[in-house]
Amino acid sequence: MMTIALNVNRCAVEALAEPRTSLADFVRDKLDLTGTHLGCEHGVCGACTVLLDGVPARSCITYAAACEGADVTTIEGLEEDEVTAELRAAFTREHALQCGYCTPGMLIAARDLVLRLPDADERRVRVGLSGNLCRCTGYVGIVRAVQSVIEARRTRNIAPLADGGRSILGPAGSGHAAAGRSEPLQPERTALAPAFDGTARLGIPDFTPSAVLDQRFVLAHPPAKVFAMFDDIAGIASCLPGVLLTGAPGPERVEGEFRVRLGPIAAAFEGAARVERDPATLSGRIIGIGADQRSQSATQGEIRYRLLPLEGGAATAVELSIGYTLTGMLAQVGRPGLVRDLARRLVANFATNLDRHMSGAPAGQGSRPELSLWSIVSDVLRARVARIFGRRSGGG
């Protein structure tokens, strides 16, 4: 066994695997990113296509160990990608999928064509997709979908990227190949090493979130008082459902745990956060990393806040920008619509607990050691049903 460290979908991951493990098996078995499909396992059908340092590559014939330090993007990592979103809509519109088994690899290959080709030439599109086999559609709808996206983007004056943005000559991932690796193999340990481990303890890096949610709430307290409260890390933690501190917080760093239960999946993300504050603008940032061994999930998160005076300074508007990247089992249930609803409800709970804390009352849910999302999901579903019936009754 050996330790393999990669950046998968903009999140640093580290796991033990045999040297012969393919990249496809690594992302599927170690990270539960099962959108990468295995078909022929000979590099022919294209179902296993991923982006390796931004270049489409066959993950079934690529050793994970050879990708040490590389940036890997699976179909899950393209959920918020602009080009992929346009292709998904075009595939639906042009009936370009049936069983869907080839679709993840087909979308990644099509995305590369949209970025590279100067125009929607049918022959070049067909040649570009010739390495991705489909046994259902006959390709007509697929080719038409790719052409429509290329035409739409060129009409909007979005120019093609030379070589699809490639900056390194040679095979995909050649700039990060682990040839000549000299360090000894690591002893066997748990399947996924937490992101909060080793060098991660020495510093918490910046990152680019895969999703960003904006929230806003109002507190009946002056901005200076609220800003001072945000400096009380222990107090803030007590207002966040599911958050527990595991050590005394420092002025710029805090270590803790976030516990969550989603049906049968119970996770405890152990990690640390870096705290930044700007008294001049009444703003700040909290950036953290964490990992859960049980669900083999890892996360990076960032909260940016800004305080604005209201009612002549008697009240405060708290503007939040919440960015996150999640990989592993929990990422499979983290759909954007549901996550947005959950984030709104969690922020509402945090605002209520924060107001109670600043008013001297008990913080309520903040004292709960574990957050059960099923209760929040049920509240969200009830709210959605109420909105639906409200629209129908209003329309009648």
pLDDT digits (tens, 9 = 90+) for 91-139: 999 999 999 999 999 999 999 999 999 999 999 999 999 999 999 999 9
pLDDT, one tens digit per residue, over 253-288 is 788 887 776 555 567 888 888 889 999 999 999 888
Over residues 38-58, the pLDDT tens digits come to 999 999 999 999 999 889 999
DSSP codes joined into one string, 220-255: SS-HHHHHHHHT-HHHHHHHSTTEEE-S---SSEEE
Helical (H) or strand (E) element with 163: none
Q: What is the pLDDT of residue 7?
A: 92
DSSP 8-state secondary structure symbol assigned to residue 165: G
**pTM to 2 decimal places:** 0.49
Please say whether the beta carbons of 125 and 113 come within 8 A: yes
pLDDT attached to residue 257 = 84
**pLDDT above 50 (res 327):** yes
Instruction: Give the range among 61-75, 179-193, 210-224 with minimum mean pLDDT.
Output: 179-193
What is the Cα–Cα distance from 6 to 9, expressed in whole angstroms? 10
Give the count of beta carbons closer than 10 Å to the beta carbon of residue 220. Answer: 12
Q: How far apart are CA 349 and CA 365, in angstroms?
A: 7
pLDDT of residue 279: 93
Stronger pLDDT, 203 or 358, i.e. the higher one: 358
Residue 154: predicted pLDDT:
94
DSSP codes of every residue in 328-391? SGGGGG--HHHHHHHHHHHHHHHHHHHHHHHTTS--GGGG-SSEEHHHHHHHHHHHHHHHHHHH
- Report percent pLDDT > 70 for the chain: 74
In the numeric block, which tokens belong to residue 302? 């960032």
- Tell me: pLDDT of 195 over 50: no
Domains of the chain: 2-78 (3.10.20.30), 82-164 (1.10.150.120), 194-395 (3.30.530.20)
- 76, pLDDT greater than 80: yes
pLDDT of res. 2: 87
Would you say 362 and 234 are in contact if contact means Cβ atoms under 8 Å apart? no
Integer-rounded Cα Rg, in Å, for the chain is 24
Please compute the mean of the pLDDT values over residues 359-385 and round it to a whole number: 56
Contacts of 208 (CB under 8 A, 6+ apart): 10, 325
Q: What is the mean pLDDT of residues 141-162?
A: 93
- pLDDT at 292 exceeding the cut of 60: yes
> DSSP letter string over 25-77?
HIIIIIT--TTS--SSSSSSS-TTEEEETTEEEEGGGSBGGGGTT-EEE-GGG
Whether pLDDT at 214 is above 80: yes
Give the pLDDT band (50/70/90) at residue 335.
low
Residue closest to 256 by CA, chosen among 284, 230, 237, 231: 237
